[in-house]
Amino acid sequence: MILNELVSYEVLRLLWWALLGVLLIGFALTDGFDMGVGALLPFVAKTDTERRQTINTIGPVWEGNQVWFILGGGAIFAAWPPLYAVSFSGFYLAMFLILAALILRPVAFKYRSKRPDPRWRSTWDWALFIGGFVPALLFGVAVGNVLLGVPFHLTPDLMPMYDGSALGKLFGLLRPFALLAGLVSVAMLLMHGAAWLSLKADGAVRDRARRIGTIAGMVAAVGYALAGLWLAVGIDGYAFTHAVAHDGPSNPLMNSVAREGSWLSAYVDRPWIVAAPLFGFVGIAMAVRGLRAGRDVSTLLWSKLGIFGIVSSVGLTMFPFILPSTVDPNSSLTVWDSSSSHMTLFVMLVGAAFFMPLILAYTAWVYKVLWGKVTQDDVTANGDTLY
Amino acid sequence: MELDIVELSRFQFAMTALYHFLFVPLTLGLSILVAIMETVYVMTNRPIWRQMTKFWGSLFGINFVLGVATGITMEFQFGMNWSYYSHYVGDVFGAPLAMEGMMAFFLEATFVGLFFFGWDKLSKLQHMVVAWLVAIGSNFSALWILIANGWMVNPVGAEFNPQTMRMEMTSFFDVVFNEVAQAKFVHTVSAGYVTAAIFVLGVSSWYMLKGRHLELARRSIAVAASFGLAASLSVVVLGDESGYSASHTQKMKLAAIEAMWETHHAPAPFTLVGIPDQEARETHYAIEIPWAMGLIGTRSLTKEIPGINDLVAEAEQRVRRGITAYDALMEIREDPANASAEARFVFEQNSDDLGYALLLKRYVDDPREATEAQIEMAANDTVPGVFPLFWSFRAMVGLGFSFILLTGYFFWMSSFKGAQYPRWALRLAVLWIPAPWIAAELGWFVAEYGRQPWTVDGMLPTALSVSHLGVTDLLITIAGFVMFYTVLFIVEMSLMVKYIRKGPVQDVAETDEWMDRHQARLSGMTRAPFSPNPAE
């Protein structure tokens, strides 16, 4: 017997679809507050000591958090190669901007406090702002575009092709709905960053963060509701035009897809998924309340629940679609025809089953070691070891 | 137009990969050196070793962050610029990259923060374990990346699936234990250890020349010289292992590196120097060492190593068989359910050569319509540029031997000559700091340029692997990367120099207190009770 047939192809595809969600949500929950803190930096921290205090709340953890993104990329490559091939080349210049921002960020963390020159430091502070704000915005815009559908098609050789010029493709992403999604993403991560600062900082930084976070949370909730409404009335969904085999070969062109109905019909077919947007709203509402009341640990947890709800609602709404095509719906990538082979999915699942719990365990231990607030006294007393 | 995208994509990948590898080797080696120093600290309790750990650790940090940052580009560039490659081999190639994330990168990135921020939050032993976890994570990271890279050279454990039009994994075990990958891994991490050793050696020598931080410099030289000697011996020996595995897995690369145009009767001579002429297919002014090539390449006196001309003739046959495979594939794809058994049989018989038919796609859309002249051109395309390979390889090997001499000399002096180093040797060590980087970059050039015209040897031509972007797309990102990376490089170098000039933070009080206790214990004047944690 071949070992990989212990788990059926259909189940493996479902598991890897869920794992992709876990990685993206893991990224949003952990690196999300790093991006939020980066984007908040110029507004919550005025003096150099305050800025160092703010930066050092995430100083020891951003590097590990960022790996959720890297691993997300690796997992898409390994488990959903067509998605990896189509999306990153299709969003080419947008991806470049995200990469540039994400490269800037680590460098800014590490190098900012290595020189006392105020101009040097304020330059890197803006780099940190860009490193937080730009990816937060562009990830949201990308999700908005995925819901709208993307202009690509596959040749019979399964080579991805796109329409439009370089800048045309970049600015083509900035459709109104996608910008709304970007706004929700930024607001949500600002709230998350504020919740983190409320837990890890004290004094003026914490107070400012709580004020901004409250507003950001409300903006996120309203924007999210608007986006839902927009999906209901203004955007067509996608559907297979025939019963589709769940264990067929990974070739999107073998299935036919039509652009019809609404994405939200998923909530009729699978009513239980309404839990996701519900979590989104409840999480944000409770996080906003917590920020106003000055509760720390519970606020961060509520904020996490809100983000979990919002991100997972996108995936659950679109299921089984992953990346729909506007110009050739048959090229759309779905859970049932865009995965790796049975063997690869199985091998990777074994790897994930072993390593993911281990990763969660040691990450939890690191956070435990670093537990406690970072104060202004801490950063002035430890000039050499902290950022 | 098409070719332009290919050349630009290749240029961008080469540039970002070589840039990334400016930081990786130092990370690989310095993480281990720092962990070794901290281990000595934990075992001896001597504050000087803690200072060394912190000082080299701070330089490690400045370097590490750029390695991580530029690695982000690498992880996503396959999808951005090489989307057909990503589709065609993602089923196999993606797996080691994902394993790298789960097994290695998470480990190093999670604990590196604790390494820098955890000095006051962890016990000494815990902190040492953290340092080792960072080092182990970094090195495992290299293992998985080289498994992926090794597969591109020697694509084992995979077969083509006509239904999905891509390579699919048949054995993960074969992919992981690919002999090319294993040899590459040890060779590459050894190169990283050499780089870090020469770096520590050079910086410490500079302190010696300036008469600063002599305690730190002397001990650092002792550690670096012994570690570096072992590593540079390993890098040369394992380079030889790569050569041996190349003789049966990468015949064309080996022949091109050696500028072996004709198959020589065994054992073949090794061309020490010469001027390879690709047009005329001969090497001018060649100086040869009899037998040497046969011994290195085959470890025998009787096995032949095929020359370029014979390999081209073989490639031509494979192109023809590839066309047969392509023809059968088209029939199968036309109507997968009802394709004739004959077509399936023909495809299975010839599918190993399918990639050779794809070489024709540069000249003609449908390989079945290729002319004789085009088939010949495709066969000739299988020869990479001989001159640059020939000389890059020789420069790399020459540098490799220089590292053995340099570290060997310092090892000898530090072990047996009372660590009294002549000034010329110290100056040479400072001067030699950039050499390992040059050798490492040359090594990657030989490995990757030597694989051309393939991204995956014999299976997928480079020209077919790219994304269908516009030239403008690529010009924008290339300009962006060049500017951005240049600025980062300048910032990084200026900080490195600043922190080297500044030197270690001297815990004067701590050191004095420890020395007092030490003296007291030695002289037996006071019988202080033994404490496992003095001076903490």
Residues of chain A with C-beta less than 8 angstroms from the C-beta of B493: none
As a whole number, mean pLDDT of residues B170-182 equals 89
| CA-based nearest distance B463→chain A, Å | 13
What are the DSSP calls for A315-381, one per residue? HHHHTTEEE-BSS-GGG-EETTTSS--HHHHHHHHHHHHHHHHHHHHHHHHHHHHT-S---HHHHHH
Whether residue B144 is predicted with pLDDT greater than 90 in this model: the reply is yes
CA A257, CA B514: separation in Å to the nearest integer?
Answer: 76
Nearest in space to B447 (alpha carbons), one of B153, B16, B15: B153
Domain spans of chain A, in order of start: 32-368
CB B229 within 8 A of CB B408: yes
Nearest to B98 among A75, A82, A362 (CB): A75
CA A169, CA A171: separation in Å to the nearest integer?
Answer: 6
Whether residue A67 is predicted with pLDDT greater than 50 in this model: the reply is yes
Per the CB < 8 Å rule, is B163 touching A251?
A: yes
Question: What 8-state DSSP symbol labels residue B101?
Answer: I
Per the CB < 8 Å rule, is A81 touching B480?
A: no
- Residue B90 near chain A (CB below 8 Å): yes
pLDDT at A245: 87
In chain A, whose CA is at the least distance from the CA of B160?
Answer: A341
As a whole number, mean pLDDT of residues B73-94 equals 93
pLDDT at B345: 85
B71 Cβ contact list (under 8 Å, min separation 6): A70, B20, B24
From A163-167, B104-108, B461-465, the region with the lowest mean pLDDT = A163-167
Nearest to B117 among A60, A88, A343 (CB): A60
Per the CB < 8 Å rule, is A70 touching B105?
A: yes
Segment A158-214, tens digit of pLDDT? 989 987 777 888 888 899 999 999 999 999 999 999 999 999 998 899 999 999 999
Nearest in space to A60 (alpha carbons), one of A386, A380, A364, A382: A386
Per the CB < 8 Å rule, is B469 touching A102?
A: no
Per the CB < 8 Å rule, is A92 touching B473?
A: yes
- Chain A residues 210-249 with CB within 8 Å of chain B: 249
- Residue B477 near chain A (CB below 8 Å): yes
- Residue B498 near chain A (CB below 8 Å): yes
What is the residue-averaged pLDDT of chain B?
A: 87
Per the CB < 8 Å rule, is B172 touching A81?
A: no
Per the CB < 8 Å rule, is A158 touching B121?
A: no
Per the CB < 8 Å rule, is B98 touching A74?
A: yes
pLDDT at A220: 95
- Residue A367 near chain B (CB below 8 Å): no
User: What number is the ipTM of this complex?
Assistant: 0.90
- Residue B57 near chain A (CB below 8 Å): no
Q: Give the model's confidence band at B509: pLDDT under 50 very low, under 70 low, under 90 confident, else very high.
A: low
As a whole number, mean pLDDT of residues B84-109 equals 92
